[in-house]
Chains A and B, each alone.
Chain A
Amino acid sequence: MSIFDYFLSNKPSSASLAKERLQVIVAHERVKRKSPSYLPQMQQEIIEVIKKYIAIDEDQVTVSLDNDDNHSILELNVTLPDK
Chain B
Amino acid sequence: MAEIIVVTSGKGGVGKTTTSAAIGSGLAIRGHKTVIIDFDVGLRNLDLIMGCERRVVYDFVNVLNQEANLNQALIKDKRNPNLYILPASQTRDKDALTQEGVQTVLNELSESFEYIICDSPAGIEKGAQMALYYADQAIVVTNPEVSSVRDSDRILGILQSKSLRAETGAEPVKEHLLLTRYNPARVEDGEMLSVEDVVEILAIPLVGVIPESEAVLKASNQGEPVIFDESADAGQAYSDTVARLLGEEVDFRFLEAGKKGFLKRLLGAR
Complex interface: chain B residues within 8 A of A3 (CB):
265-266, 268
Is A15 in contact with B268, judged by CB distance below 8 angstroms? no
Is A14 in contact with B266, judged by CB distance below 8 angstroms? no
Question: Does B267 have its Cβ within 8 Å of any Cβ on chain A?
Answer: yes
Select one of A2, A4, A15, A21 contacting B187, CB under 8 A. Answer: A15
Select one of A1, A29, A33 contacting B190, CB under 8 A. Answer: A1
Stretch at the interface among B79-87, B146-154, B169-177, B229-237: B146-154
* Interface size class of chain A, counting residues whose CB lies under 8 Å from the partner chain: 10 to 19
Is B197 in contact with A19, judged by CB distance below 8 angstroms? yes
Select one of A4, A16, A30 contacting B268, CB under 8 A. Answer: A4
Q: Looking at the assembled complex, report how far the CB atom of B1 sits from the nearest CB atom of chain A, in whole angstroms.
A: 31
Q: Looking at the assembled complex, report how far the CB atom of A69 sits from the nearest CB atom of chain B, in whole angstroms.
A: 16
Which of B145, B154, B201 has most chain A Cβ within 10 Å? B201
Interface of chain B: mostly helix, strand, loop or mixed: helix
Q: List 30 A-B contacts (CB under 8 A).
A: A1-B190, A1-B268, A3-B265, A3-B266, A3-B268, A4-B268, A5-B268, A13-B189, A13-B191, A14-B190, A14-B191, A15-B187, A15-B191, A15-B192, A15-B193, A15-B194, A18-B145, A18-B146, A18-B197, A19-B193, A19-B197, A21-B146, A22-B146, A22-B193, A22-B201, A23-B201, A25-B150, A26-B153, A29-B150, A29-B154
* Interface size class of chain B, counting residues whose CB lies under 8 Å from the partner chain: 20 to 34
Beyond A15-B194, A19-B201, A26-B201, whether A1 also contacts B189 by CB under 8 A is yes
